[in-house]
Amino acid sequence: MQILKGYVFRMYPTEKQEELINKTIGCSRFIYNYFLDDKIKEYKEISKSKSAYEQIK
């Protein structure tokens, strides 16, 4: 039998830290959605999607 453990942490960021966290998450979400949309458009046009390596270029 395997026992799994987990830890839960609570963070109390300052207002400045909270703003930076929200900006970072917002930028990451924007980049993800931008490249996902690019991949979907490419697939609809030529029925082949770009690989992650092609998108990085």
pLDDT tens-digit map of 6-23: 999 999 999 999 999 999
Model's pTM, two decimal places?
Answer: 0.66
Sorted by sequence, the CB contacts under 8 Å of residue 43 that are 6+ apart come out as: 49
pLDDT at 27 over 90: yes
User: Amino acid letter at 1?
Assistant: M
Task: Report the candidate in 23, 5, 3, 1 with the shortest Cα–Cα distance to residue 13.
Answer: 23
> Where are the chain's structural domains?
15-56
